[in-house]
Amino acid sequence: MFEEGTQITMADGSIEDIHNIMEGSMVMCDDGAATRVTSIFRDIQTTYVLSQRTKHRKIETNATSLRPSCTKVDGILEVRCSLGHTINLTLFTKPTFEKSFKFNQVLVRWVKLVDIVTSDNRIINIPKYHNKKFPLDDVGILEAHTYLENILVQNNKPLSFDIEVRDLDYLDAQTRSRSKLCFKPVLSGNGRLSEFLTGQRHLNTLSVQNMAWLLGLWIGDGTTVRPEISVDSLDVSLMDALIELCEPWGIYPGYTDSVIPLRAKHVKLYYGKKPANRKYYQNCKTNNPFWKAVTNLDFKNREDGSKEIPQFLCGDDIEIREAFLAGLIDADGYVAKELSQSGKYQVNIQTIYPSVMKGIVNIARSLGINATVTTKPERIAIIKGKEVHCKLTYDCGITGNTALQNILSYCRSGHKIRPKPALVDRGPTHFTFNDNKRGLNHVYSLKLENSKKILLGNKMSLNTCKSNCMSEQKKLSKTKNLKQCLACQYVGIGRFYRDWTGKNKLCSRCYSRYKFSGYRCESCNFVPDSREIKRKSTQVDKTLIGLSVNEKLGCSHCTGILMYDTIRGPNRQMQMIHAM
């Protein structure tokens, strides 16, 4: 059963809270088909949150006390459900061939589903590692390779299995850390933008796609007062594309240089013709189809006038979503020149609007593209010798293969365009997750007219509720190999290392920080990164006494003092001696 507030994707692509769904409502399945809700069951049960495992952490500055919304990691996938809810997991693993010279043997290891008996005498089917040993000689190695080939034929696909949330602790640590949930793209659309522009749904002509691209460009670099977009004058291809794509709609871009010409041109989108007699804003808003789309389709918030991505766009046709995201990338996106180590394209889009950040994440996931958010707090930066106040910024990183490459083929900015792929893969995207207890909450169960999986608002694909969900279930097993970081209090089963005392554990993130900075708080054990140390060091006078450096730096988490580890930290004393 799902906790109250869980969002569900409806058949028309809109998103609705589960407690607002009525019997007879049409919801979307994970394959894009629509199905009817036949009954709804309500209860109060203990819930757990299954959240995407990520390297992102909460903001570690004083800005969190001023902005409560910054105290959580934005953009992560999560679902809150009861202990009896059944989830489908996928395990990506291949049989391995290992040589052990210590025991003089060859080991073939593989994963296979087996039945085990739980503490309450239930039989569950979970993956377990199996191995077969061979002698470490020519004959044994040949037999091991033959056996490995037979195993590969039988296990040529990822292992998929169903398990209840309360039984996750029966998985061993290696299997648990590799088991993944998934989210799926939305392959159908509501055709809302096409209906508004042409009066007919799903009529996605080239002009309609161009309008979607123009709306994305405005969300990135447009002004909220009038139809005006800032364009880099050195990006000739983008300026030419703006003129070309606006012409079918009767829109003519134009700008007027100031006394000292600037690189950023404030291009106004005139409808019909340019104004006469220096009336710079004439023919801008009146009957302008672009501005009508901005105001009537809620790309501009009706209350405070800020930019936002309307909810309907996340469920519009695929071509419209791709063109809109391409325009946003042309305006505010950075496209990595080279592919990542896994062969994926990488794009970063920065925005100061929370609604735009959420819209970017939702549209990317609706296209089968992974999206993460890095929140940069408010800060004072020095840019070209001037002190600049930088607002809270959301850095949305999206990575993907052919699905993202197809979006980049819509781009018009010269250095962001990528060739169109021959085939676009829109399969499910898998991710690892953590589970944490939340407590007693109101829960809801939806019974559908078929047995298909349901699509949540964040595009996660999950099973519907079964009979064991209708009552409170108990968790009898204990979590195995669960560790907690001494510095940041992160809890998980991943890579942990010994701390400076050798008795406690540090997560990989804090361990690498301590290795490169050498500082920790003597009060709360917080480990700052080297950039924070460098920033604090500029505010503290350093005095050289013999071969030691006395630095008193304050901790950003408490009122304690950061202490430098002269044994395990980087050898700064030698660096200063050489510098002298």
Q: Which residue has the higher pLDDT, 580 or 512?
A: 512
pLDDT value, residue 493? 67
Which of the residue ranges 235-239, 354-358, 570-574 would you say has the lowest mean pLDDT?
570-574
b/e sequence 539-555, b meaning 16+ C-beta within 10 Å: eeeeeeeeeeeebebeb
- Contact, 395 vs 350, CB < 8 A? yes
pLDDT value, residue 68? 38
pLDDT value, residue 540? 54
Question: Is the pLDDT confidence value at 17 over 70?
Answer: yes
Average pLDDT (222-233) is: 88
Rounded CA-CA distance 524/527 in Å is: 9
Q: Where are the domains of the chain?
A: 2-84+433-466, 96-183, 192-416, 483-579
pLDDT value, residue 324? 95
For residue 261, what pLDDT band results from cuts at 50, 70 and 90?
A: confident
pLDDT value, residue 544? 38
Question: Is the pLDDT confidence value at 63 over 70?
Answer: no
Task: Please name which of 260, 275, 187, 168 lies closest in space to residue 227, comparing C-alpha atoms.
Answer: 275
Question: Is the pLDDT confidence value at 411 over 90?
Answer: yes
Q: What angle do CA 135, 136, 137 make, to 5 degrees?
A: 100
Average pLDDT (216-242) is: 90
Question: Is the pLDDT confidence value at 373 over 70?
Answer: yes
* Radius of gyration from C-alpha coordinates of the chain: 28
Which of the residue ranges 114-118, 237-241, 278-282, 343-347 would you say has the lowest mean pLDDT?
278-282
- Homologous superfamily of the 96-183 domain (CATH): Hedgehog/Intein (Hint) domain (2.170.16.10)
Question: Is the pLDDT confidence value at 155 over 70?
Answer: yes
pLDDT value, residue 164? 92
| Tokens matching residue 558 | 């408490």
Average pLDDT (544-556) is: 54
pLDDT value, residue 390? 72
Within a 10 A sphere around the Cβ of 283, how many other Cβ atoms? 19
pLDDT value, residue 478? 67
Rounded CA-CA distance 463/273 in Å is: 56
pLDDT value, residue 98? 87
For residue 359, what pLDDT band results from cuts at 50, 70 and 90?
A: very high
Question: Is the pLDDT confidence value at 158 over 80?
Answer: yes
Question: Is the pLDDT confidence value at 568 over 90?
Answer: no
379-398 pLDDT per residue, tens: 776 666 677 667 788 889 99
Question: Is the pLDDT confidence value at 312 over 70?
Answer: yes
Give me the chain's average pLDDT, please: 83
Residue 144 burial by Cβ neighbours in a 10 Å radius (0-12, 13-18, 19+): buried
Q: Which residue has the higher pLDDT, 253 or 570?
A: 253
For residue 420, what pLDDT band results from cuts at 50, 70 and 90?
A: very high
Sign of the torsion angle spanned by Cα atoms 401, 406, 407, 410:
positive
pLDDT value, residue 382? 67
Q: Does domain 192-416 have CATH number 3.90.1150.10?
A: no
- Contact, 379 vs 363, CB < 8 A? no
Question: Is the pLDDT confidence value at 569 over 50?
Answer: yes
pTM: 0.81
Give percent of the chain above pLDDT 70: 87
Q: Which residue has the higher pLDDT, 145 or 62?
A: 145
Tell me, which fold does domain 2-84+433-466 have in CATH? Endonuclease - Pi-scei; Chain A, domain 1 (2.170.16)
Give percent of the chain above pLDDT 90: 37
Q: Which residue has the higher pLDDT, 56 or 458?
A: 458
Within a 10 A sphere around the Cβ of 257, how many other Cβ atoms? 10
Rounded CA-CA distance 250/493 in Å is: 59
DSSP 53-120: --S-----STHHHH-GGGGS-TT--EEEEETT-EEEEEE----EEEEETTTTEEEEEEEEEEEEE-TT
Q: Do domains 2-84+433-466 and 192-416 have the same CATH topology?
A: no
